[in-house]
Amino acid sequence: MADLRCTFAGIKSPNPFWLASAPPTDKEYNVVRAFKAGWGGAVWKTLGEAGPPVVNTASRYGTLEVNGQRMVGFNNIELITDRPLEVNLREIKQVKRDWPDRALIVSLMVPCVEESWKSILATVEDTACDGVELNFGCPHGMSERGMGAAVGQVPEYIEMVTRWCKQHTRMPVLVKLTPNVTNILGPARAARQGGADAVSLINTVNSIIAVDLDAMAPAPTVDGKGTHGGYCGPAVKPIALHMVAEIARDPHCAGLPISGIGGIATWRDAAEFLALGAGSVQVCTAAMHYGFKIIDDLVDGLGNWLDEKGYADLPAVVGRAVPNVTDWQYLNLNHRIVARIDQDRCIKCGLCHIACEDTSHQAVAATRIDGERHYEVIDAECVGCNLCMHACPVTGCISMVEVETGKPYLNWTQHPNNPMRQAAE
Ligand SMILES: Cc1cc2nc3c(=O)[nH]c(=O)nc-3n(C[C@H](O)[C@H](O)[C@H](O)COP(=O)(O)O)c2cc1C
Ligand code: SF4
Ligand code: SF4
């Protein structure tokens, strides 16, 4: 089987699957169970300053259900750890001692004051953990106190705090980024400028997941009131993939390791993050939904896929899709495809016809043959938009096939319709 061992920003783990900083990594009991199950690493639930811990609300989670599928999206209004700092530090030290081969990273969030970072770094270093992750991402509760996303949305603060941390510790410093920004490159470049050893993303997306129409308040409601929270789970994966890819192909961030987070529930999700440049991946919602045993499928699935494709190890696949991520203006406008219906698989539901007829290009003819409904693509009208393929309820029934046009590659920068076009080379 392919070699799944991972070296990320100098941190070693037996596989690239780490648990993200969240309830699954809140205490020794959980992290030990996870390591026993086979997780390669864990980012401990975010620690705050010494003193009385934060206080959480009772109700704190909300979910997005789609057609009966639970937790497609997940929302929380939880804060950082609500356990005493010294208890967490003692447990971290013990876990690292007992599990030396696993990656153990400690997530931190303290006020934007150099002394606060300096002092917590010294105590964390004493645990012998493998690195720290700066939580500049939490969008609720802590940001109102000038921490979390309040730092992560201001590149100058990211750079400043990262630099402090690099000055005050020898441990690798990962900077966890918030997706609640207009352009992820500002924060990513600031982290690099500050000397970050890596970035990890995404933290949760600002959201109101639902409104309780009986209580007339956002869910989850706390004694009749609700507030915005952090959104995660499978529904946020596309946002995370895009942000990871943007950083991976940014020349200013070249070589900066990326830990991919957001909606990872299967080996395939993980493989997509790796292909777009993530050197390790982190999982939260899927573990909260299905428990730690999902690591078996993640590891086996990723290993089998690497074997099947002939990739010997993780470096062979990390970033492999990045050269194929481009800007829209460089896509080939002469590339032509049309839809094809496999009549043997078709169940005659008519969804392709109605989707194309009402909202696309009137390119699926609905007829009757021997009294039975029949659907056929009209090649001359089909623009190849894919809508019918996605709307069709039968997997593999509609496929898109390439049409040979004999025309050369032509992108928008070269197109005659573009008033700003450059001469074709
Ligand atoms: C209940 C809950 C609590 C979380 N707490 C933290 C936290 O303390 N620190 C942190 O950096 N991220 C925290 N996160 C964010 C996760 O680490 C992760 O970035 C996010 O959930 C996206 O991954 P996922 O889609 O696999 O859940 C939390 C997420 C959830 C669901
Ligand atoms: S690919 Fe688009 S245009 Fe072609 S048949 Fe399907 S929906 Fe219609
Ligand atoms: S949507 Fe698919 S199954 Fe339904 S009629 Fe069209 S091709 Fe057949």
349-391 pLDDT, tens digit each: 999 999 999 999 999 999 999 999 999 999 999 999 999 999 9
Query: Pseudo-torsion of CA 266, 269, 270, 274, nearest 10°?
Result: 160
* Residues constituting the chain: 425
Residue 280 near residue 16 (C-beta atoms within 8 A):
yes
pLDDT of residue 174: 98
The Cα 254–Cα 380 span in angstroms is 45
The Cα 136–Cα 158 span in angstroms is 8
The Cα 364–Cα 341 span in angstroms is 10
pLDDT of residue 194: 98
The Cα 177–Cα 50 span in angstroms is 24
pLDDT of residue 125: 97
174-213 pLDDT, tens digit per residue, is 999 999 999 999 999 999 999 999 999 999 999 999 999 9
What ranges make up the beta strands (E) of 21-112?
Answer: 41-47, 61-66, 69-76, 103-108
Ligand with the closest atom to the CA of 342: 3
Q: What angle do CA 232, 23, 122 make, to 5 degrees?
A: 110
Contacts with 252 (C-beta within 8 Å, 6 or more apart), sequence order: 185, 189, 192
Residue 190 near residue 154 (C-beta atoms within 8 A):
no
DSSP H or E segment with residue 304: helix 294-309
Q: Active site residue: 6, 129, 138, 382, which one? A: 138
CA-nearest residue, atom 4 of ligand 3: 349
pLDDT of residue 19: 98
- Ligand 2 atom nearest residue 381's Cα: 3
Spell out the domains of the chain, with CATH numbers in brackets: 6-324 (3.20.20.70), 329-413 (3.30.70.20)
79 within ligand 1 shell (Cβ under 6 A)? no
208 within ligand 2 shell (Cβ under 6 A)? no
Residue 128 near residue 154 (C-beta atoms within 8 A):
no
* Residue 67 zone, left/alpha/beta (φ > 0; ψ -120 to 50; rest): left
Query: Pseudo-torsion of CA 77, 81, 83, 89, nearest 10°?
Result: 170
284 is catalytic: no
Written as six digits, the tokens of 319 are 């970033």
The Cα 301–Cα 266 span in angstroms is 8
Q: Closest by alpha carbon to 196, among 219, 171, 224?
A: 171
> Got the DSSP string for 9-33?
TTEEESSSEEE-SSGGGSSHHHHHH
201 within ligand 2 shell (Cβ under 6 A)? no
Name the strands in the sheet holding 205-207, side by side, starting at the edge strand that comes first in the sequence. Answer: 61-66, 69-76, 229-232, 205-207
Ligand 3 mean position, distance from CA 266 (Å): 28
Ligand 1 mean position, distance from CA 179 (Å): 12
Ligand 3 mean position, distance from CA 393 (Å): 7
Alpha helices in 71-215 (DSSP H): 85-98, 114-125, 149-152, 155-168, 185-193
> Got the DSSP string for 182-239?
S-THHHHHHHHHTT-SEEEE--PEEE--EEETTTTEEESPBTTB---EEEESGGGHHH
Would you say the C-alpha torsion 36, 37, 38, 41 has a positive or negative sign?
negative
Radius of gyration from C-alpha coordinates of the chain = 24
Task: Return the number of other C-beta atoms located less than 10 Å from residue 289's C-beta.
Answer: 15
pTM of the model: 0.96
pLDDT of residue 354: 98
The Cα 128–Cα 102 span in angstroms is 12
Q: What are the pLDDT tens digits along the chain (425 aa)? A: 899 999 999 999 999 999 999 999 999 999 999 999 999 999 999 999 999 999 999 999 999 999 999 999 999 999 999 999 999 999 999 999 999 999 999 999 999 999 999 999 999 999 999 999 999 977 777 777 777 778 889 999 999 999 999 999 999 999 999 999 999 999 999 999 999 999 999 999 999 999 999 999 999 999 999 999 999 999 999 999 999 999 999 999 999 999 999 999 999 999 999 999 999 999 999 999 999 999 999 999 999 999 999 999 999 999 999 999 999 999 999 999 999 999 999 999 999 999 999 999 999 999 999 999 999 999 999 999 999 999 999 999 999 999 999 999 999 999 999 999 865 44
Contacts 24+ apart (CB under 8 A), 108-111: 108/46, 108/47, 108/132, 108/133, 108/134, 108/135, 109/46, 109/47, 109/48, 109/80, 109/134, 109/135, 109/138, 109/142, 109/147, 109/148, 110/48, 110/49, 110/147, 111/49, 111/145, 111/146, 111/147
Written as six digits, the tokens of 116 are 């606060």
Place of tokens 């900077």: 175
The Cα 220–Cα 76 span in angstroms is 8
385 within ligand 2 shell (Cβ under 6 A)? yes
